[in-house]
Amino acid sequence: MPSALITGITGQDGAYLSQFLLDKGYAVHGLLRRSASADVIGERLRWIGVLDRVVLHDGDLMDLSSIIRIVDAVQPDEVYNLAAQSFVHASWQQPILTGNVTGMGAVNMLEAVRIVAPKARFYQASSSEMFGKIQQEKQNERTPFYPRSPYAAAKLYAHWMTVNYRESFGMHASSGILFNHESPLRGIEFVTRKITDGVARIKLGLADELVLGNLEAMRDWGHARDYVRAMWLMLQQETPDDYVIATGRTVAIREFCAIAFGHAGLDWQKHVKTSERFMRPAEVDILLGDAGKAQRVLGWAPGVTLEEMAAEMVEADLARHRAARG
């Protein structure tokens, strides 16, 4: 039975990846940073039905000794580093924390694997936010980076350190430069989930309006379930490498609003307002990925459309609010 260790296992991608690997017969281990909210920290794993099938280990990306201990105990065949301070807007308020967790945390994981499990295959969750102020109309693995947030800068450091460990120490270390990927498990602070939750609340009479930031920002949105499959495919290759994972379709936030509200039979323009409070200090205007390399080498392609994903998210949020009301 192959084994995998996942950091960020309690997040959206960690939950879907756990489910994917368990279905493939893996023993799945996860890094868990204990907190006062321990009773709800595994909610995504519980929601997806795998909480009792994974082994959680107490540790912290900022504590190298705990990481070494866990990697040594598990001796994983594959390591997926998904943990990060991943909310871009918050990274301006917490730039040092973001740099430590998102940047240095990845290096702690690389160092732990190098020291006690050098044969393990390593996946680093890189981000399309690294492209920032885009230098090409469609972004691929050769597009220059231009990060526009502390989060993106921290991800870029982690990305290049992954390349460095691969080239310096011969580690099987790959990075997935993932464009935006969403699902019903997405955190409520992210714009897609904020929209679908707002749709549900308005549909059920719990709210009248939804306040957002820049409606013109354009993103290439896919489904997290498709994207974790790409992560796994990268680690099955004989040679480690970096891959852009994207749908190749970009839409503005206002169009996502139209799709989500439309699914519930609502006119988004009657309910959506904007506020400067939700504007980024430095905006990334448009992201559009070219996943041609992943399609050629990995045989990967997205399977869920934007419309299908938005509908699934709206239905899940409707179900959540109905259940809460009893």
Rg (CA), the chain: 19
Residues 6 or more apart whose CB falls under 8 angstroms from that of 315 comprise: none
Segment 166-180 shows an average pLDDT of: 97
- For residue 214, count other CB atoms closer than 10 A to its CB: 18
In the chain, CATH 3.40.50.720 covers 3-181+221-245
Classify domain 187-219+249-286+293-325 by CATH number. 3.90.25.10
Q: How far apart are CA 261 and CA 199, in angstroms?
A: 6
**Least confident among 24-28, 226-230, 272-276, 293-297:** 272-276
Which pair of tokens denotes residue 271? 């309910």
The confidence band for 36, taking pLDDT boundaries of 50, 70 and 90, is low
Question: Which residues does the annotation mark as catalytic?
Answer: 127, 129, 151
CATH code for residues 3-181+221-245: 3.40.50.720
User: pLDDT-based confidence at 252, cuts 50/70/90?
Assistant: very high
Where in the chain is CATH 3.90.25.10? 187-219+249-286+293-325
3-state helix, strand, coil in the chain (%, to 5): 45, 15, 40
- Residue 134, pLDDT > 90, answer no
Q: What is the mean pLDDT of residues 236-259?
A: 97
Mean pLDDT of the chain: 94
Q: Looking at residues 264-291, what average pLDDT do you find? A: 88
DSSP reduced 3-state for 262:
helix
Q: What is the pLDDT of residue 24?
A: 98
Quote the pLDDT of residue 40: 66
Between 22 and 286, the more confident residue is: 22
User: Is beta strand 172-178 parallel, antiparallel or unpaired with respect to 121-127?
Assistant: parallel
What's the whole-model pTM score?
0.93
Average pLDDT value for residue range 65-85: 96
Answer yes or no: is pLDDT of 38 > 70: no
| 276 or 263: which leads in pLDDT | 263
Instruction: Give burial (CB, 10 Å; 0-12/13-18/19+) of 269.
Output: exposed
